[in-house]
Amino acid sequence: MNINRRNFLKAAMLAGGSSFIGASKKALAEVDFANQANRCGVLTDLSRCIGCRACESACNEVNKLPEPDVPFDSDKVFEKERRTTWKALTVVNRYPNPKDKDKPIFRKVQCFHCNDPACASACLVGALKKTPEGSVIYDESVCLGCRYCMAACPFSIPAYEYSNPTTPKVVKCTMCYGRITKGQVPGCVEACPEEVHTFGKRNDLIRLAREKIIKNPGKYVDHIYGEQEVGGTSWLYLSPVPFEQVGFLTDVENKAYLNFTKGFLSVVPVVLTLWPALLGGIYIFTSSRDQKEKEELQKPKKGGTKS
């Protein structure tokens, strides 16, 4: 057993090496999201929306999406609740208004642009990113197509090009990142004839939303959706009726979702450093015990397994 020491050294080297991997992983896992004050967002006031779908049409145009299955001026789409797809980054759904039957409530759905997006913390190649401007953007050039972002998104917003064999993409709203970096507002915001959406700094939008709630008693539910949900989102909503009645998820957690995996990831370096020592120790213990046993039985020892 002259390789005992060598094995020990090897195990020690492994421990050293792997703790290095662990340390770097940990360091990189801490993504700093400082500078949140300058992030932009959109405040959507559901009480103003008339369901004209001008936003959908504008989104289609800005993002050069394929022709819709049903034209944008048709009311037929409201018969069923829709979701975002690879052909439509935003959709408007209609819900009955419990206060006034003749005035249904319309709700526009798109990416919420979370402050700490679950999709970004899910992506194993960092294809999804929260930008300083507030958008959550997607880099097609590195995406593997594992679709963990879709599974991870608490709102199930990202869609996938399942029928594209060569360059399938994850598709979702980018808050018109290309436009806002040029100083323009997102396509849907610009197209809205009823001024349902307000684009601006997120902090200002929250102040504005509070003011609206205070100045119009009884008009809105006293809640800004997206202020706390999933740790805060860039897209905020005001609604005249309880949010769960107009298709919002109200049982989401009020903290950033990346916190749910942080605990696990922080154990990684511990395992990487402790296991080699522990297992190497057990190995040294058992092998020295075996050796002793062998020495005791030395003389009559023979392989004797098979003739």
Partner 1 sequence: MSVNLGIVSYRPSWIGEKLFRGMSFAAYVRSLLTPFNIIAALVWLPGFILVLIRYAFGLGAVMSGSNEYPWGLFISYGLLCGVPFASTGFIMATAYHLFGMKAYHPLVRLGILTGFLGYFFAVCFLLIDLGRPWRLPYPMFVSFGTASVLFLVAWHVALYLSTQLLEFCPAIFEWLGFERCQQWVTRITVGATIFGVILSTLHQSALGALFLLMPGKVHPLWYTPNLPVFFFVQSIYAGLSVMILVSSLCRRFLKNQTDGQFTSNLDNLLFGLAKAAALVLFSYYSLKLLAVAHENEWYLLVTPYGYLFLTEIILFVFMPCYLYVYGVRYKNVKVVQLTSVLSMVGVVFSRFNISIIGFNWTLPNLEIPGWKEFAIAITILTTAVLVFRWIVSHMPVLREFQEHDLRLVQAETRKMVERTSPRPHQFTRS
| Closest approach of partner 1 to the CB of residue 133, in Å | 20
Residues facing 42 on adjacent strands: 199, 235
| Closest approach of partner 1 to the CB of residue 290, in Å | 6
Residue in 222, 218, 225, 216 with CA at minimum distance from that of residue 247 = 225
Tell me the residue type at 76: K
Tell me the residue type at 232: G
Cα distances from 256 to residues 125, 133, 231, in angstroms, run: 20, 18, 4
Dihedral, CA of residue 188, residue 155, residue 174 and residue 149, to nearest 10? -160
* Minimum CB distance to partner 1 smaller for 32 or for 102: 32
| Closest approach of partner 1 to the CB of residue 84, in Å | 7
| Closest approach of partner 1 to the CB of residue 15, in Å | 9
Half-sphere exposure of 307 (CA within 13 A, CB side): 0
| Closest approach of partner 1 to the CB of residue 79, in Å | 16
| Closest approach of partner 1 to the CB of residue 199, in Å | 26
Q: How far apart are CA 206 and CA 42, in angstroms?
A: 10
* Minimum CB distance to partner 1 smaller for 78 or for 160: 160
Q: Give the DSSP letter of residue 133.
A: T
* Minimum CB distance to partner 1 smaller for 220 or for 257: 257
* Minimum CB distance to partner 1 smaller for 13 or for 214: 13
* Minimum CB distance to partner 1 smaller for 206 or for 265: 265
* Minimum CB distance to partner 1 smaller for 100 or for 139: 139
Q: How far apart are CA 145 and CA 213, in angstroms?
A: 42
Task: Give the sign of the dihedral formed by CA 186, CA 187, CA 188, CA 194.
Answer: positive
Q: What region does 172 belong to: left with phi over 0, alpha with psi -120 to 50, or beta?
A: beta
